[in-house]
Amino acid sequence: RLPVPKLEDTIRRYLNAQKPLLSDDQFRKTEELAHRFEKGIGRELHEQLVAQDNQNKHTSYITGPWFDMYLKAREPVVLNFNAFMSFNPDPKSEYNDQLIRATNMTVSAIRFMKTFRAGYLEPEVFHLNPEKSDTQVFKNIIRFVPSSASWFGAYMVNAYPLDMSQYFRLFNSTRLPKPNRDELYTDEKAKHLLVLRKGNFYVFDVIDRDGNMLKPSEIQAHLKYILSDNSPAPAFPLGYLSSENRDTWALLRKSLLDNGNEEALQKVDSAVFCLSLDDFPVKDFVHLSHTMLHGDGANRWYDKSFNLIITKDGTAGINFEHSWGDGVAVLRFQNEVFKDSTKVPAVSPQSQPASVDSSRAVQKLDFKLNDALKAGITKAKQKFDATVESLSLNMIQFHEGGKDLLKQKKVSPDAVAQLAFQMAFLRQYNQTVATYESCSTAAFKHGRTETIRPASVHTKKCSEAFVRELSKHSTEDLQKLIVECSKYHGRLTKEAAMGQGFDRHLFGLRHLASSKGTALPEFYQDQAYARLNHNIISTSTLVSPAVQLGGFGPVVSDGFGVGYQVHDDWIGCNVSSYPTRNGKEYLQCIYKSLEDIFNVLKGKKIGS
């Protein structure tokens, strides 16, 4: 179970995170408020939270508050919450044809769903010592240990089974807009796929009456039929509505239902998933990121648990809604679909689609729109276009080293990437700001995520040495500062993964206070608390053989959204930003910081 940290540990960690962001006077005030909270109302709330947690052993203390946080948010899901991960191309180039890849990935996705529902999906396990535990011998032994004791057996060899309670929401699921708080909806009985093309909506069954998957050649035939449909794009594409403010969308959805669209919307909401077929090829990585993160607004349904997007040249990616689950579940799905569709593809470029009557099997959904709905769609499109217009996406690839070299120098690759982000921001804006790094707590029952706070007194000191005081430090001094940062970051990461961060605990206490109608404690009214939670640098990382790159929008209007990957011999980084920040320049500063750090670790003297 996810532990509730000790209150004194949380306050100590909170103050450590505040220190690099505040002046001495500001820090003294925040410290005083924190200790008062710890001894007073905070202690009461903490005891109530622990008692509540003990009465709810089937879940975790963060589950309710976290769902609330996502589902009560009224901002549009696109750019604010939905993230994307794009697939690597199929190694066999002729399989990157849009129809072939769409068929193979759809088949693999359904295979994954059926395997999961039948209880045959291999458990998700984090192996600290893969050579000991990620072996056939271990699997054979653990298979026969009763489940009440098997996790203990896994712990003995440093293998940690991860929570998979989010997985069922991958399929047949959607987020429904409701006034004040949205709802998650799942209908596992539905057998159809939703396909979007040119803003038109199509559905066809992919599972038959006996629960078996349709033949791949039939799925291919239906997709071919959709790809060759000459229907024009609708004048009022419904997809834009899912990009609206949630309360606005909730009202418009009610109008849609009242206007005779109940059956069509039910098909959209309950579909196995949404397959979006785009009519253009991808030009470059920046275009790829824009396509997968937001697209044109007409050919997406942002409320579905995920959209599988495939462009004209067979480039594929996933855009996923975030309230139901985290990157871990989506990544497992993506890894399996990539592996299955490339290693054992269901159809080949030589395959012939089945000779079936697709015009009968495929239903094009027709929506009845009155003037108010048409006006709503027009307004949603204008807002969407304006927001997307203001979003910049930029990226770099650093090829002067990666994980291998950093491990050889005994420093943490993640710590070095995070140090570069701090150093770059100091170089560009001359300050240290609130920074967020996401860390999964899936090692616990109903765990979600915890925050690592990468901006520390150590990164600040090291960044200042590199950016402002280079002449005062020898290469050896600088190396020591990097090692110091690496050790501290390693400790923060370990604490977060073990459920020993401070962010979720403080969030849970605040949620408890507001749910009980208690006045908001003074601690939470501190400007420093607000500033720490205004995450100007928001970061997230993943590396997988299936994923080419991933990204998300800035979480605040004056922030950067930083998606990064530290590979064996190179580092990839992409940054999203709005006009108040210059993402291109920030990336140049990140590149310079990485260059300096790597040169210092190699023992080279660097110039300013």
Q: Which residues are catalytic?
A: 322
What is the helix (H) or strand (E) element at residue 194, kind and residue range?
Answer: strand 192-197
DSSP, collapsed to helix, strand or coil, labels residue 18 as helix
Task: Report residue 356 as tokens.
Answer: 């079936």
Task: Report residue 16 as tokens.
Answer: 């450590």
Find residue 307's DSSP bridge partners: 274, 319
> Which string of DSSP letters, residue by residue, matches 332-376?
HHHHHHHHHHHHS-SS-TTPPPP---HHHH-EE------HHHHHH
DSSP, collapsed to helix, strand or coil, labels residue 393 as strand
Find residue 318's DSSP bridge partners: 85, 308
Task: State the SS3 of 43-84.
Answer: HHHHHHHHHHHHHCCCCCCCHHHHHHHHHHCCCCCCCCCCEE
Task: Report residue 381 as tokens.
Answer: 């499109």
Task: Report residue 4 as tokens.
Answer: 């509730």
Q: Give just the sign of the alpha carbon dihedral 476, 479, 481, 484.
A: negative
Please state the φ and ψ torsions of residue 314, each to the nearest 5 degrees. 80, 10
Give the list of residues 6+ apart from residue 447 with CB closer than 8 angstroms, or none. Answer: 2, 60, 62, 163, 440, 441, 499
Give the list of residues 6+ apart from residue 20 with CB closer than 8 angstroms, or none. Answer: 432, 455, 456, 457, 459, 460
Report the alpha-carbon distance of residue 262 to residue 365 in Å, rounded. Answer: 11
Q: Give just the sign of the alpha carbon dihedral 250, 255, 258, 259.
A: negative
Report the alpha-carbon distance of residue 571 to residue 549 in Å, rounded. Answer: 11
Pairing of strands 537-541, 560-566: parallel
For the chain, give the number of residues. 608
> Which string of DSSP letters, residue by residue, matches 280-315?
S---SHHHHHHHHHTTTSSS--TTBSEEEEE-TT--
What is the helix (H) or strand (E) element at residue 571, kind and residue range?
Answer: strand 571-577
Task: Report residue 158 as tokens.
Answer: 């440093």
Pairing of strands 435-440, 392-398: unpaired
